[in-house]
Amino acid sequence: MKLETLAIHAGRAPDLATGAVAPSPILSTTFARDAQGDYPHGHIYSRSSNPARAALESLLAALDGGTAAAAFASGSAASMAVFQALAPGDHVIAPDDVYHGTRTQLRELLARWGLSHSLVDLTDLDAVRAAITPATKLIWAETPSNPLLKISDITGLAELAHASGAQLVVDSTFATPVLQQPLALGADMVMHSTTKYLGGHSDVLGGAVIAREPDALFARIRDLQTKGGSVPAPFDCWLLQRSIGTLPLRVRAQTANAQAIAEFLAAHPQVSAVHYPGLSTHAGHALASRQMTGYGAMLSFQVHGGRDAALAVAGKVQLYTRATSLGGIESLIEHRASVEGPHTSTPQDLLRMSVGLEHVDDLVDDLRQALAG
């Protein structure tokens, strides 16, 4: 089935008891045994499994072409579970341009119990090859990256990982399953912050890890999910499944808006650089054209005049909301370095945008007035 069909039908069927077409979340935390002490419906306790979570995980696995999925209470919980499934003494290679929360987990939390890491330019396969050690068990890719929208070669990274006995996990939050299928390109697992585009309405927190095959590493991730207890509530699972039905339409419309905005910004005299893989001038444009079906709705740009000028632009917008996060129907803008704090490597003159579903002419006009002067 095509993605649009899967988004609506995977993990979903009319309720057998009532015939209801729209599923309802089962909020119960515990489930009854039969007279023999068995659990006839397969659920014991909601931390271990819940009908709403089971339906969501089936849907998520189908969208990414995987065989199993584990849903978490947040994207950070999902990435943390992947890293915790490794052992002390293992080594992780991660991008030098990476979501600051991932960098913080590796530097401040996981280093304490002996997980080492190297931050490498993952767009340079030779640099990745040079960073691999006998202890390397995982390459963590993020493509497009946050916030510079770098594009990494998923197939090339998978080949390097597998040749050294490691696995490749791709954070595909920016791309979503609509625009990129990392498992089909050789990745072992894909991670999403489902808070973002899959939720799509800035009202639900979640994360997920989807596996091409339920191997030993994924089994440990599943174990951490249930025993660690960082699971999404049934209502959150229901909200996500409800939103995913419109995911392909939303992402493609937002991508079209982002392309037009990127082209406007690239021609503006107050803008010194635009980071968007849909521009032919982007260093990763050709690669993105091969491994993605669209360039996404995230972009960042730098303005002449440094930090103060960037903050001034953000302060003058009227339609864009000055807020963190991304992927909702509303357009957001933020001065990313301010969010990331003292360890940031993000340029101080950079603004990151999550492009929403407003009319593109209104979004462009708002940027035009904010950049004026």
State the average pLDDT over residues 54-72.
98
pLDDT at 174: 98
More confident of the two residues 58 and 38: 58
Spatial CA neighbour of 93 closest among 83, 85, 84, 80: 83
State the average pLDDT over residues 337-346.
85
The amino acid sitting at 159 is: E
* % of residues, the chain, pLDDT over 70: 100
Catalytic residue chosen out of the listed positions 137, 196, 336, 352 = 196
**Is pLDDT above 90 for 41?**
no
Residue 297: both structure tokens together: 């709705």
Q: Is 276 a catalytic residue?
A: no
**Is pLDDT above 70 for 142?**
yes
State the average pLDDT over residues 257-276.
98
CB 118 within 8 A of CB 94: yes
State the average pLDDT over residues 15-26.
87
Mean per-residue pLDDT of the chain: 96
Tell me the per-residue pLDDT of 147-205, one tens digit each, with 9 for 90 and over. Answer: 999 999 999 999 999 999 999 999 999 999 999 999 999 999 999 999 999 999 999 99
Q: Is 196 a catalytic residue?
A: yes
The answer to whether the predicted template modeling score (pTM) of the entire model surpasses 0.75 is yes
Of the listed ranges 9-18, 73-82, 202-211, 326-335, the one predicted with least confidence:
9-18
Catalytic residue chosen out of the listed positions 47, 220, 252, 307 = 47
pLDDT at 18: 87
Residue ranges of domains in the chain, CATH in brackets: 3-244 (3.40.640.10), 247-371 (3.90.1150.10)
State the average pLDDT over residues 236-262.
98
State the average pLDDT over residues 241-267.
98
How does residue 342 score in pLDDT terms, banded at 50, 70 and 90? confident
Residue 208: both structure tokens together: 């997920």
In three-state form (DSSP H/G/I as H, E/B as E, the rest C), the secondary structure along 81-124 is HHHHCCCCCCEEEEECCCCHHHHHHHHHHHHHHCCEEEEECCCC
**Is pLDDT above 70 for 373?**
no
**Is pLDDT above 90 for 343?**
no
pLDDT at 294: 98
Q: Which residues contact 182 (CB under 8 A, 6 or more apart)?
A: 64, 141, 154, 170, 172, 190
pLDDT at 132: 98
Instruction: Give dist(CA 297, CA 354) in Å, integer.
Output: 6
Catalytic residue chosen out of the listed positions 171, 188, 236, 349 = 171
More confident of the two residues 197 and 14: 197
How does residue 268 score in pLDDT terms, banded at 50, 70 and 90? very high
How does residue 23 score in pLDDT terms, banded at 50, 70 and 90? confident
State the average pLDDT over residues 16-45.
87
Catalytic residue chosen out of the listed positions 64, 90, 97, 99 = 99
Instruction: Give dist(CA 11, CA 26) in Å, integer.
Output: 15
* % of residues, the chain, pLDDT over 90: 89
